[in-house]
Chains A and B, each alone.
Chain A
Amino acid sequence: MSVNRSQSDWQRGATAFVSSAAIVALVWLVVLPWIAARPAVRARTAALKERGIDPAALFYTDLEAMPRLEARLAAQRRKHPEAFWQIGWSLDSADRHEVDSH
């Protein structure tokens, strides 16, 4: 904090700080909880939590759902590895091949 700052400047700053903090407190302690309590919002946030989705995730490792999604994808790749690499490969022919082999 600058020592040259005048007393009135500091008072103005302190007032601005207290007012801003009060607004933040009002929004976070009253407005947002009220919105969060709406049935539609509550249902949406609950559904996301249940599926392991954090919409504020910064990186894929922050997503709880990622291991589940990766495991599902790995199973799909194991079953049909050509599907993601081979142009012209068809699922129908793979199914036929599966039926024939049985």
Chain B
Amino acid sequence: MLDSAPNGTNAKRLMSEAHQGESPIDDVTSNLADGGSRQPFFSEDWCAVWIGGLLLAICVIAVIANGPLPDGGYASLLKPWLTKPGSWSDNPVAAFASQSNTLPGLLAVFGLTLVAFGGGIAAMGQSVSAFARGFVLVFALGIVAYLLAGQDVVKYYDLSYALWALVVGLLISNTIGTPDWVRPAVRTELFIKTGLVLLGAEVLFNRLLALGLPGIFVAWVVTPIVLVATFWFGQKILRIESPTLNMVISADMSVCGVSAAIATAAACKAKKEELSLAIGMSLSFTVVMMVAMPAVIKAAGMSNIVGGAWMGGTIDATGAVAAAGAMLGEDALQVAATVKMIQNILIGVVAFCVAVYWVLRVERRPDAPRPGAVEIWRRFPKFIFGFVAASFVFSMMYGAHEDGPRFVDAVINDSTKTLRGWFFCLAFVSIGLETNFRALARYFKGGKPLVLYVVGQSFNLCLTLLMVWLMFEKVFPQAAEVLKQQ
């Protein structure tokens, strides 16, 4: 089906846009430059892998050094030093006062990220001092974004830090303009790709079978079908000009919202504006779905298990799935969150497949011969190796020993997920700082992205409901019975 995608058109468009100086997450020209660099292993892609890998190693060592706790659990030495502003209701100062270590922790995160990315910048042969100057403001804006996202009402409606980081950056770039001294620290690609390498550690394949066969069918069979069908619909029926925008919206809507959008955008070298647009649409629809779906499920008299699995498979954002599931009950919450967790794990496979498809099909000129291994290697987004390797290593660690789950959970919960959150936050601040409102509006031309999202999500709702009904009502009704038990 996708074989007949208009490859020539796409390749021409990518090349022409690269010449016009637009801003892909990692455009074709910069990828070619990576391959021809005198130091190819210190390109931005590889630097993300090295920084991410080094940070993961430090996080693992911090748990090993602390040793097993008396209760048999594990904890990281870094835990008190890696923080973000907390939640608050009526006084924003509470975001910094809720834990005694918030302010020292913020300073520690600032220092660690400055050293880590500064090292990468130095390895790429760029000015560390210029980066450091600008990074102070970028990090400060990240704190503001977390502060805005931490307000209880904002949090309740799943309006996450990614959105506010983008808004804060846009507010500056579209009013007073991004100061020149900040620009060296506006490193969207480096922040996103390093964050994705850290996210790889959270993609644990051991959790894939948590719901047995019903879970696999709902999360790993329906999701790729919806993703491919939505992409095909966008290319063939709507004829969306940008295949990268089409892919990012399709992945965002079918897999797991913001995290899937980030991973696929980087894998297919989408433009920053396309990622912003996809995330904005996804968050808007998520707010509606997390309120509407529990009401529809209750009104239709659907069981909590079927309703929970349906929401888990269709609502984009992980947190919104849990909140919607909780509205129905503990059993619905459990099924919804577990289905979404299994879908979360799919993003590793999706990002890898999208990167391969883009290199082999979309970027290929119609008159060019099939690319050889060297060409494929040259074009392939290298950070994907870091992402996949982190997922593989942590999955192995998780399953290799009886203590594996507790050890890996300590590494992730006490350190890597906080850093990953910060890197994505800094990436969205950076996107905002280099995006023009007018550029965003151009991508929405004709409303095609909206139509794509609505049609794709409608198909997703129907197919997921059918699969959930088949799995939990017809094929494995006993699984639903077991899940209802306390």
Listed in ascending order, the chain A residues whose CB lies under 8 Å from chain B are 1-2, 5, 10, 13-14, 16-17, 20-21, 24, 28-29, 32-33, 35-37, 41-42, 44-45, 47-49, 51, 53-63, 65-67, 69-70, 72-73, 76-77, 79-80, 82-85, 87, 89-91
Which of A10, A35, A66 meets B341, CB within 8 Å?
A66
A52: nearest residue on chain B (CB-CB)? B322
Q: Is the CB of B172 within 8 A of A17?
A: yes
- What residues on B are CB-neighbors of A42 within 8 Å? 89
- What residues on A are CB-neighbors of B479 within 8 Å? 83-84
Q: Name the distance in Å between B405's Cβ and chain A's nearest Cβ.
A: 9
Q: Is the CB of B90 within 8 A of A37?
A: yes
Q: Is the CB of B175 within 8 A of A58?
A: no
Whether B259 is near chain A, meaning CB under 8 Å from some CB there, is: yes
How far apart sit A56 and B409, CA to CA, in the bound complex (Å)? 20
Q: Is the CB of A85 within 8 A of B417?
A: no
Q: Is the CB of B337 within 8 A of A65?
A: yes
- What residues on B are CB-neighbors of A56 within 8 Å? 149, 154-155, 158-161, 317, 319
How far apart sit A14 and B176, CA to CA, in the bound complex (Å)? 5
Q: Is the CB of A83 within 8 A of B478?
A: yes
B322-347 interface code vs A (CB 8 A; 1 in, 0 out):
11001000000110011011001000
- What residues on B are CB-neighbors of A70 within 8 Å? 207, 210, 338
Q: Is the CB of B334 within 8 A of A69?
A: yes
- What residues on B are CB-neighbors of A65 within 8 Å? 322, 333, 337
Given known pairs A29-B92, A76-B483, A80-B478, the reply for A57 and B172 (CB within 8 Å) is no
Closest 3 CB pairs of A and B: A84-B212, A57-B319, A33-B90
Whether B439 is near chain A, meaning CB under 8 Å from some CB there, is: no
How many residues of chain B are within 8 Å of chain A by beta carbon?
A: 70
B286: nearest residue on chain A (CB-CB)? A55
How far apart sit A18 and B121, CA to CA, in the bound complex (Å)? 33
Q: Is the CB of A36 within 8 A of B153?
A: yes
Given known pairs A28-B148, A56-B158, A58-B258, the reply for A63 and B334 (CB within 8 Å) is no
Q: Is the CB of A55 within 8 A of B340?
A: no
Whether B139 is near chain A, meaning CB under 8 Å from some CB there, is: no
Given known pairs A13-B175, A69-B334, A89-B478, the reply for A55 and B151 (CB within 8 Å) is no
The interface centre, meaning the residue of B333, B341, B478 with most chain A CB atoms within 10 A of its CB, is B478
27 residue pairs from A and B, CB less than 8 Å apart: A1-B177, A1-B180, A13-B176, A14-B175, A48-B326, A51-B333, A56-B159, A56-B317, A56-B319, A58-B258, A58-B318, A58-B421, A60-B337, A60-B341, A61-B412, A61-B413, A62-B319, A65-B337, A66-B337, A69-B333, A73-B338, A73-B483, A80-B482, A83-B482, A84-B213, A84-B476, A85-B213
- What residues on A are CB-neighbors of B212 within 8 Å? 77, 83-85
How far apart sit A63 and B323, CA to CA, in the bound complex (Å)? 10
Q: Is the CB of B318 within 8 A of A79?
A: no
B361-397 interface code vs A (CB 8 A; 1 in, 0 out):
0000000000000000000000000000000000000
Which of B176, B258, B333, B344 meets A60, CB within 8 Å?
B344
How far apart sit A79 and B177, CA to CA, in the bound complex (Å)? 61
The interface centre, meaning the residue of B149, B152, B159 with most chain A CB atoms within 10 A of its CB, is B152
- What residues on A are CB-neighbors of B409 within 8 Å? 67
Can you name 4 extra interface pairs (CB under 8 A) apart from A45-B152, A53-B323?
Answer: A41-B153, A48-B323, A56-B155, A84-B215
Q: Name the distance in Å between A85's Cβ and chain B's nearest Cβ.
A: 5
Q: Is the CB of A63 within 8 A of B322?
A: yes
How far apart sit A13 and B417, CA to CA, in the bound complex (Å)? 37
Which of B153, B214, B256, B478 meets A90, CB within 8 Å?
B478
Which of A2, A44, A91 meets B482, CB within 8 Å?
A91
Q: Name the distance in Å between B97's Cβ and chain A's nearest Cβ.
A: 16
How far apart sit A66 and B336, CA to CA, in the bound complex (Å)? 11
How far apart sit A21 and B156, CA to CA, in the bound complex (Å)? 23
How far apart sit A73 and B162, CA to CA, in the bound complex (Å)? 31
Q: Is the CB of A1 within 8 A of B178?
A: yes
- What residues on A are CB-neighbors of B319 within 8 Å? 53-58, 62-63
Whether B199 is near chain A, meaning CB under 8 Å from some CB there, is: yes
- What residues on A are CB-neighbors of B478 within 8 Å? 80, 82-83, 89-91
Q: Is the CB of A57 within 8 A of B317?
A: yes
- What residues on A are CB-neighbors of B475 within 8 Å? 87
- What residues on B are CB-neighbors of A5 within 8 Å? 177
How far apart sit A57 and B154, CA to CA, in the bound complex (Å)? 12
The interface centre, meaning the residue of B92, B155, B179 with most chain A CB atoms within 10 A of its CB, is B155
